[in-house]
Amino acid sequence: MPTTGNSIRHLSLSVASAFAFVACAPGPQPSGTPGPTRADVAAVDPVRAAAAARGAFPTGWRFEPGEDATFGEHAMVVSVSRYASEAGVEILKAGGNAVDAAVATGFALAVTSPSNGNIGGGGFMTIRLADGRTATLDYRETAPAAASRDMYLGPDGKLTNKSTVGHLASGVPGSVAGMAEALAKYGTMSLAKVMAPALRLAGEGFLVDSNFSSGGQCNRLIAQFGGKELFCPGGQAAQPGTLFRQPDLARTLSMIAAQGPKAFYEGPIADSLVAEEQRGGGIITKADLKNYKPIWRTPVTGNYRGYTLITMPPASSGGVTMNQTLNILEQFAPLPPAGSAAYAHVVAEALRLSFMDRNAKLADPAFAKVPIAELTSKDYAKTLAAQINRNRASKTPAFDPGKEPEHTTHYSVVDAMGNAVGTTTTLNGGYGSGVWVRGGGFFMNNEMDDFAAAPGQPNMFGLVQGEANAIQPGKRMLSAMSPTIVLDPNGQLLMVSGAAGGPTIITATMEVILNVIEHGMTLADAMHAPRLHHQALPDQLDYEQRGLTGAVVDSLKAMGHTVGTRASLATVNSIMRVPGGWHGVGEPRARGVAVGY
Ligand code: GLY
């Protein structure tokens, strides 16, 4: 679905145009100032943008090049839910900054996108303020104190499904503490103020829209636990156009708004959460909740051909693996055209090498020595690039891949001052563990599956990970979430991007950024272009159905690649600076909604 918003829509512009008009970088402008005109576009580099899109969009691909983006003269919020994007814009228009708006959007997603928006999960936030300061906040879940290395293995030594379904699958949630911490440090408004839209949406209800109704509320996962009556009454999910109210969640949110995160971690919500855990054999205790702390971390900062990427360090692998891959690719720059076999090959080989390091070496830095500087160094990238044969695929051992459900959500925010926030948050699988906290009104995560529950065996994303990411009490499970802010070669804010999709988060976020800064596409084309994915294991280059031509697929096979198709790869939500304002593009494969003004 194309992105829409309450802002004016206008013709997309290439990134080249963004540089040509650096003097027009956004800021408060007289209302009614028109966006760029077709003449502006003609004056910059439409030829390069159109050529890149033509090559990357094969005949039969599900999208056409040249779609519009949503234009906002001052500010932009992009998320998977119209209500949540509008909540962010409501706070911006009330005088809030990008952090205020991000927290408002995050709480609203917990109401209107409950399969992935959450207060029962965790996430990561990347912030870049207009004055140049940067910060990354890790509010990933932690393993409960009673967790142990082999807790998900059956008597036969094989993985059970307890790391994905039910009460034992949850890590200690970080979302409420994380959002409150970000607000306290960089926001300007009270928790009550930024939570007001979410509270309203939960208490007064909202009209079910396609994003909400596509969430599959009547699935077998939810039916096993307490959320069935609310989300699937009489076996029927709420239909589009009907009013959906969540009184339990409204009460929970109002307690958090009034009392702060203590209500969640030590007060009545903690009581409900622990009672729910005990009902189903879970191990999260009041002490686990009380001890939970979000962590400010030094961002991973990379450089690709003059562009700066500010992104997430471990406990997410996203920033390290994306920068490592880009550093390898930089050795081959300028890269072959998007959509060609040569491009798919070199991207796949670079991803293979980075994911091999990711799966073996990255983990919670409090528990493992994580070689961030080495993995992201240009010298190391040179040694890896030298291992890539331009004509021949290398090999990693094959195994049976796991299944990949819907999960996770990313939202991007830019305010009128030029502050930027990218946030990715998750329950892991859609509706997490399926467990709905009775009385609390929210779903719990199944993030424990992101640990190497059985090192060497695949998790639900088919990822095979090593000992560094084995389960230990209090440890954060390795993530792929990659909220990323990109600066142009002049150090000006250019993009905010990030994705949902397990390990494909890293690839898709990188591809959208590469489509803009390497291939010169407009943001809309960069988002609509077909995507690729490789994660070392399984040893397979995946592409989106009809996203490569038959000839390109044949060439990749001839080079030795095992090639697979996916119906869709990742859900990205992005913002890019353009002359006179911002372009926002919500994920066209899902139901992303950009709202600007
Ligand atoms: N649960 C998906 C991730 O954190 O990467």
Residues 561 and 514 in one domain: yes
The Å distance, Cα 159 to ligand 1 centre, comes to: 19
Residue 460 confidence (pLDDT)? 72
Torsion sign across C-alpha atoms 133, 503, 449, 372: negative
Residues 425 and 371 in one domain: no
The Å distance, Cα 407 to ligand 1 centre, comes to: 8
Torsion sign across C-alpha atoms 516, 519, 524, 529: negative
pLDDT band at 581, cuts 50/70/90?
very high
Give mean pLDDT, residues 291-297. Answer: 98
The Å distance, Cα 49 to ligand 1 centre, comes to: 33
Residue 30 confidence (pLDDT)? 29
Ligand 1 closest atom vs CA 505: 5
Ligand 1 closest atom vs CA 428: 1
Are the C-beta atoms of 420 and 479 separated by less than 8 Å? no
CA 115, 116, 122 angle in degrees (round to 5)? 135
The Å distance, Cα 549 to ligand 1 centre, comes to: 31
Residues 317 and 385 in one domain: yes
The Å distance, Cα 38 to ligand 1 centre, comes to: 41
Ligand 1 atom 3: residue of nearest CA? 479
pLDDT digits (tens, 9 = 90+) for 216-258: 778 889 999 999 999 988 888 888 899 999 999 999 999 999 9
Q: Name the E strands within 55-154.
A: 69-72, 76-79, 122-128, 134-139
Mutate to test the pocket of ligand 1, among 425, 448, 465, 505 (most ligand atoms within 8 A of CB): 505
- DSSP H helices in 127-267: 175-186, 191-203, 210-213, 220-223, 228-231, 247-259, 262-265
Residue 200 contacts by C-beta under 8 Å, 6 or more apart in sequence?
Answer: none
pLDDT value at 343 more than 60? yes
Residues 46 and 162 in one domain: no
Asked, for residue 192, whether it belongs to a domain, the answer is: yes
Asked, for residue 129, whether it belongs to a domain, the answer is: no
pLDDT value at 371 more than 90? yes
pLDDT band at 12, cuts 50/70/90?
very low
Ligand 1 closest atom vs CA 424: 4
Residue 397 confidence (pLDDT)? 53
Residues 442 and 417 in one domain: yes
pLDDT value at 399 more than 50? no
Mutate to test the pocket of ligand 1, among 450, 506, 535 (most ligand atoms within 8 A of CB): 450
Ligand 1 atom 1: residue of nearest CA? 428
Query: Among residues 408, 426, 507, 509, which one is catalytic?
Result: 408
Residue 219 confidence (pLDDT)? 83
- Tokens 């971690």 correspond to 265
| Distance, CA of 54 to CA of 57 (rounded, Å) | 6
Ligand 1 closest atom vs CA 140: 4
Last residue of a domain, one of 448, 469, 490: 469
In three-state form (DSSP H/G/I as H, E/B as E, the rest C), the secondary structure along 539-575 is CCEEEECCCCCHHHHHHHHHCCCCEEEECCCCEECEE
| Nearest alpha carbon to residue 315 among 474, 201, 160 | 474
Asked, for residue 368, whether it belongs to a domain, the answer is: yes
Ligand 1 atom 4: residue of nearest CA? 479
| Nearest alpha carbon to residue 191 among 247, 108, 139, 259 | 259
The Å distance, Cα 316 to ligand 1 centre, comes to: 8
**Reported pTM:** 0.92
Asked, for residue 596, whether it belongs to a domain, the answer is: no
Residues 104 and 232 in one domain: yes
Q: Quick one: what percent of the chain has pLDDT higher than 70?
A: 91
- Tell me which amino acid residue 116 is: N
Last residue of a domain, one of 425, 443, 469: 469
Phi-psi domain of 331 (left: phi exceeds 0; alpha: psi -120 through 50; beta: other): alpha
Catalytic annotation present for 70: no
H or E element that contains 206: strand 206-207
Residue 520 sits in a domain whose CATH number is 1.10.246.130
Asked, for residue 338, whether it belongs to a domain, the answer is: yes
Residues 444 and 312 in one domain: no
Asked, for residue 503, whether it belongs to a domain, the answer is: yes
Torsion sign across C-alpha atoms 185, 133, 367, 322: positive
Residues 446 and 303 in one domain: no
Asked, for residue 474, whether it belongs to a domain, the answer is: no
The Å distance, Cα 207 to ligand 1 centre, comes to: 29
Report the half-sphere exposure of 536 (CA within 13 A, side-chain side): 18
Residues 44 and 141 in one domain: no
Asked, for residue 158, whether it belongs to a domain, the answer is: yes
pLDDT band at 211, cuts 50/70/90?
confident
pLDDT digits (tens, 9 = 90+) for 515-572: 999 999 999 999 999 999 999 988 999 999 999 999 999 999 999 999 999 999 999 9
pLDDT digits (tens, 9 = 90+) for 467-518: 889 999 999 999 999 999 999 999 999 999 999 999 999 999 999 999 999 9
pLDDT band at 24, cuts 50/70/90?
very low
What mean pLDDT is reported for the chain?
Answer: 90
3-class DSSP assignment, residue 159: strand
H or E element that contains 496: strand 493-497
| Distance, CA of 447 to CA of 432 (rounded, Å) | 7
Residues 280 and 192 in one domain: yes
Residue 208 confidence (pLDDT)? 93
The Å distance, Cα 548 to ligand 1 centre, comes to: 27
Residues 116 and 46 in one domain: no
- How many structural domains is the chain composed of? 2
pLDDT band at 5, cuts 50/70/90?
very low
Q: Give the domain extent around 361.
A: 15-22+35-71+298-403+481-575
Pocket of ligand 1, beta carbon within 6 A:
407-408, 426, 428, 450, 479-481, 502, 505
Mutate to test the pocket of ligand 1, among 426, 448, 459, 571 (most ligand atoms within 8 A of CB): 426
Q: Among 25-34, 289-298, 500-509, whose mean pLDDT is lowest?
A: 25-34
Structure tokens at 233: 């009454």
Are the C-beta atoms of 171 and 144 separated by less than 8 Å? yes
Residues 559 and 505 in one domain: yes
pLDDT value at 56 more than 60? yes
Ligand 1 atom 2: residue of nearest CA? 502
Residue 572 confidence (pLDDT)? 98
